[in-house]
Amino acid sequence: MAVKIEKNLGLTPELYNYCLQNWLREDDILKALREQTTKMPERYMQILPLQGQFMAFLVQLIGAKRVLEIGTYTGYSSLVMAKALPKDGKIITCDKNHEWTKIAKTYWEKAGVSDKIELRLAPALDSLQKLLDENQLFDFIFIDADKKKYNTYYEMCLKLLAPKGIIAIDNVLWAGKVADLDQQDGSTLEIRSLNHNIHNDQRVDISLVLIGDGLTLIKKR
């Protein structure tokens, strides 16, 4: 059933720049990492800075000490969250790309937070299974990796989530493809399936944040 949209504020380039100027607090190291990443062919994988700031806010808001990230890329999200953690906080971030994570390590060192970040270089499913075998739990989990495995990541991360923790899943709108039924590629089908499954999952409470490419927030009931 189609729903009439009563109010939807379009984010023009001018309005987006206004948002950056008036809400973004980004230090020189984060800015340098973001700018370096924008020169890379895979720059579309980089989260927006306001989204990074929002996730750091959530980490502080819930008093998180243990964070899990699936998909490191060049390390912007792990860096911004590490800066929000207390001194005894820890991030485990999972990726399998040596070149991208080499950039991440450089900026973690520059920011003085490398002692808070543990990089696990392996396929994400292998890393998640190892964390399950280790009986680890996390206060905040960020999923932003291979879209074709999103349902599996979600189920594994639910088991890794601490009782009062939050899971954040990125790219749930997938540039609008999820609403276009003519789009039948593997990633779109998986994200569309995930969105449906989470909506009907009575184990959790959910919220959609219209930031970046759509961010789903999940907590256990």
**How would you class 144 by CB atoms within 10 Å of its CB: exposed for 0-12, middle for 13-18, buried for 19 or more?**
buried
Whether pLDDT at 31 is above 90: yes
CA separation for the pair 129, 117 (Å, rounded) = 19
Residue ranges and CATH numbers for the domains of the chain are 27-34+43-220 (3.40.50.150)
Distance spanning both ends of the chain, measured CA to CA: 28
Q: Which two tokens stand for residue 108?
A: 């973690």
**DSSP character at residue 149:** G
Residue 90 token pair: 């820890």
Are 160 and 128 spatial neighbours (Cβ–Cβ below 8 Å)? yes
- Is the pLDDT at 8 greater than 90, yes or no? no
Q: Once rounded to an integer, what is the mean pLDDT over residues 167-183? A: 96
pLDDT at 3 over 80: no
**Which pLDDT score, from 0 to 100, does residue 10 have?**
74
Based on the number of CB atoms within 10 Å of its own CB, is 152 exposed (0-12), middle (13-18) or buried (19 or more)? middle
3-state SS, residue 174: helix
DSSP state of 211: S
- Model-level pTM? 0.95
Q: Taking CA 162 as the corner, what is the angle to CA 64 and CA 134, rounded to the nearest 5 degrees?
A: 105
What pLDDT score was predicted for residue 2?
56
Find the mean pLDDT for residues 194-211: 97
Task: Kindly report, residue by residue over 51-95, the tens digit of the pLDDT.
Answer: 999 999 999 999 999 999 999 999 999 999 999 999 999 999 999
* pLDDT(170) > 80: yes
DSSP state of 171: -
What pLDDT score does 11 carry? 82
* String of DSSP letters for 1-56: -----S------HHHHHHHHHHH----HHHHHHHHHHTTSTTGGGSPPHHHHHHHH
Tell me how far apart the alpha carbons of residues 133 and 127 are, in angstroms, rounded to a whole number.
Answer: 10
CA angle 192, 196, 199 (to 5 degrees): 140
Euclidean distance between CA atoms 40 and 185, whole angstroms: 24
DSSP single-letter state for residue 205 = E
Average pLDDT, integer, range 185-196: 98
